Structure 1
Amino acid sequence: MSDHRIRFLRLALRAQALRFGEFTLKSGRVSPYFFNAGRFDRGALLAELAACYADAVEAAGLAFDLLFGPAYKGIPLATALACEFARRGRDLPLAFNRKEAKAHGEGGVLIGAPLAGRRVLVVDDVITAGTAIREALGLIRDGGGAPAGIVIALDRQERASDDDPRSAAQAVAAAHGIPVVAVAGLADLLAFAGESAELVPHRDALRAYRERWGCAADL
């Protein structure tokens, strides 16, 4: 397993962003784990997280020249990633959106650097139904930008429904013709659980959940 994947999973456990138990998802499925990027709520945690994102992006070899953070969780994630790339010597422009258009001042729904003529990397925490991502991609295209890829923290790697064997991330990638990169996925979590004494009690539940809901092919 890649170093950035291991670092990310250890960080998520330390921040309690990754928890184990019984969690009912929006889909109605009862999951043995839950990921909440909102728990990366301190500067040091966000800095470590951004380094994991940057390593995943660089390993994937994505070509882009602007970072976009969809409201709301994508905003601090994209901002932290911009700071990390600047620390590494690459000063990237940054943009994000409002949930509702502003009628006064500069107006509009977009904030930050102009998108026109730029290859845009979308930065978010997860892809569930894909609705927020589709909205973000529409805003990017409307602003004259070209979506170049999406990077997320965790890919649950589970199929969207009984009728669709693809994960939400796979469906978005196919629909828009752009790569989706995850810092880590359920397959990595299972491998990590096999090596971590702390997670041994949860390993069987994770395996059973993957066997029941896992997508046809991992990203």
Structure 2
Amino acid sequence: MSTKHTIEQSEQFRQEFIAFAIKKEVLRFGEFTTKAGRLSPYFFNAGLFNDGESLMKLGEFYAAAIKNSGIEFDMLFGPAYKGITLAASIAIAFAKNGHNVPYAYNRKEAKDHGEGGVIVGSPLKGRVLIIDDVISAGTSVRESVDLIRHNGATACGVAIAIDRQEKGLGELSAVQEVIKNNGIPVCAIANLNDLLTYLENQNDMAQNLLLDKVMSYRQQYGVI
């Protein structure tokens, strides 16, 4: 398979995900205040993938993106709370394709009875891939990296649904900050550029207005 054909397949895959997220109203347009206090024209909430079919498809999108990234891992870790169902759905997607991988997640508070502890699922070991929906300030990733290290394993990367490609605390994006501060790669199913491409290919006035708003937002807060 040629490199050009592979790139075209990857672009189509990302466009399919954007369309899927919009259809499920997980990717919404309007006026939303981000954690950084910015007024964003779009918002992504993976918690709204809230039925079996959509969660199954989401897991398949994640698994494909992870495979395409080339990140090598031994198990998945989903930080509470959104990461729990995400990691489970991805593990199922890999299993359907003949790759049975263990997964784990954490409790917000340690359990003082039964098996105790904060880790549920498979024991953390080897190369652990962290699963999340988006990266805003990188706090969740940092806490996950510390927790994984504390349990004798190694965080090998992060997989997210969408990369907003906007400035974090400085001139770098939140994703770039995570890469720099933790020394691990980050892969995403899609990013802001993919959203802009999707909007550019829609031929109606409402979508054109959205395109203008999203482009203005990128000019103000985006990174290359």
Q: TM-score surpassing 0.5?
A: yes
Equivalent pair of 2:161/2:190 in contact (CA under 8 Å): yes
Which sits farther off after the overlay, 8-17 or 192-201? Answer: 192-201
Q: 1:154 corresponds to which letter in structure 2? A: I
Pair 1:144 & 2:144 matched: no
Matched, 1:62 2:71: yes
- Stretches of structure 1 that go unaligned for 5 or more consecutive residues are none
Of 162, 166, 171, the match for 1:154: 162
State the TM-score, normalized to the length of structure 2.
0.92
The CA deviation string for residues 99-157 of structure 1, in whole angstroms up to 9 with x for no partner, is: 111111111111111113x1111111011111111111111111111111100001111
In structure 2, the partner of 1:174 is 180
Give the match for residue 208 of structure 1: 216
Match of 1:131 among 139, 143, 147: 139
Residue 186 of structure 1 corresponds to which residue in structure 2?
A: 192
In structure 2, give the amino acid aligned to 1:171.
E
Letter in 2 for 1:72: Y
- Corresponding position: 1:100 with 2:109: yes
1:8 is displaced (CA, Å) by 1.1
2:53 alignment partner in structure 1 = 44
Match of 2:4 in 1: none
| 1:197 to partner: Cα distance | 3.3
2:93 to 84, 88, 111: 84
Equivalent position amino acid for 1:86 in 2:
A
Classify the secondary structure of the residue corresponding to 1:92. Answer: coil
Quote the RMSD (CA, aligned, Å). 1.1
CA distance in 1, matches of 2:152, 2:12: 36
- 1:193, 1:202 within 8 Å by CA — same for their partners in 2? yes
User: Any stretches of 5+ residues in structure 2 without a counterpart?
Assistant: 1-9
Q: Detail structure 1 runs of 4+ shifted over 3 Å in the superposition.
A: none
| Partner of residue 119 from structure 2, selected from 103, 110, 116 | 110
Task: Report the more deviating stretch, 196-205 or 10-19.
Answer: 196-205
Query: In 2, distance between residues paired with 1:115 and 1:201?
Result: 47
Assess if the C-alpha contact under 8 Å between 1:4 and 1:55 holds in 2. Answer: no
Instruction: Find the residue that maps to 2:156 and give its secondary structure.
Output: strand
Q: How many pairs are equivalent? A: 213
| TM-score where L is the length of structure 1 | 0.94
- Alpha-carbon separation, structure 1, partners of 2:153 and 2:12: 32
Aligned counterpart, 1:75: 84
Q: 2:105 touches 2:121 (CA, 8 Å); kept in 1?
A: yes
How many angstroms does 1:3 deviate by? 2.7
Q: Which residue of 1 aligns with 2:129?
A: 121
User: 2:3 aligns to what?
Assistant: none
Find the counterpart in structure 2 of residue 26 from structure 1: 35
Q: Distance in 2 between matches of 1:100 and 1:22?
A: 34
Cα distance in 2 between the residues matched to 1:136 and 1:197: 42
Deviation at 1:80, TM superposition (A): 0.1
CA distance, structure 2, for counterparts of residue 127 and residue 104 of structure 1:
33
